[in-house]
């Protein structure tokens, strides 16, 4: 998981604070799944999800809130994310990773996240997304 950018009381903010908190994380997640659900460039990862994205939306919101340095909503409800294990049943290759990243970067742009924050968060998320790969290609 992402280390916090700054320790409590330091002059550096967490990504959660830099994004603007819960409302902005929610907006990013909602836009992320709207893109995934409608953009043909994300058809591969959309096919890996259930027809109803309600649960996926809530889990990603809870995870990203804590991952960016906010309240640990996901851990409080589900325990440790164990991301790689939870994603193992799905054939995740470079294309799936890149589709996920495309949706996330576009969602951040579409919701007005500043470019410098998109770069920081995008770089950190790419590392996580790449770690989820379990297939070549």
Q: What is the pLDDT of residues 57-81, one digit of tens each?
A: 999 999 999 999 999 999 999 999 8
Q: What pLDDT does 84 receive?
A: 87
Tokens of 46: 């959309």
Contact 28, 113 (CB under 8 A): yes
Closest residue by Cα to residue 22 from 56, 66, 74: 66
Tokens of 99: 């589709």
Question: Does the predicted model carry a pTM greater than 0.95?
Answer: no
Closest residue by Cα to residue 117 from 109, 71, 59: 109
Closest residue by Cα to residue 74 from 88, 63, 83, 58: 63
7 φ/ψ angles, rounded to the nearest 5 degrees: -80, 155
pLDDT digits (tens, 9 = 90+) for 3-52: 444 444 445 789 999 999 999 999 999 999 999 999 999 999 999 999 99
> Does 131 score more than 80 pLDDT?
yes
């Amino acid at each position: 998981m992402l280390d916090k950018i700054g320790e409590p009381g330091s002059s550096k903010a967490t990504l959660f604070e830099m994004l603007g908190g819960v409302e902005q994380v929610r907006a990013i997640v909602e836009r992320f799944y709207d893109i995934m659900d409608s953009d043909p460039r994300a058809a591969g990862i959309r096919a890996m999800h259930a027809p109803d994205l309600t649960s996926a939306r809530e889990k990603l919101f809870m995870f990203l809130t804590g991952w960016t340095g906010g309240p640990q909503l996901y851990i409080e409800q589900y325990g440790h994310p164990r991301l790689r294990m939870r994603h193992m049943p799905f054939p995740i290759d470079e294309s799936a990773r890149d589709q996920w990243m495309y949706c996330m970067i576009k969602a951040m742009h579409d919701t007005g996240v500043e470019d410098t924050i998109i770069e920081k968060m995008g770089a950190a998320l790419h590392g996580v997304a790449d770690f989820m790969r379990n297939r070549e290609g």
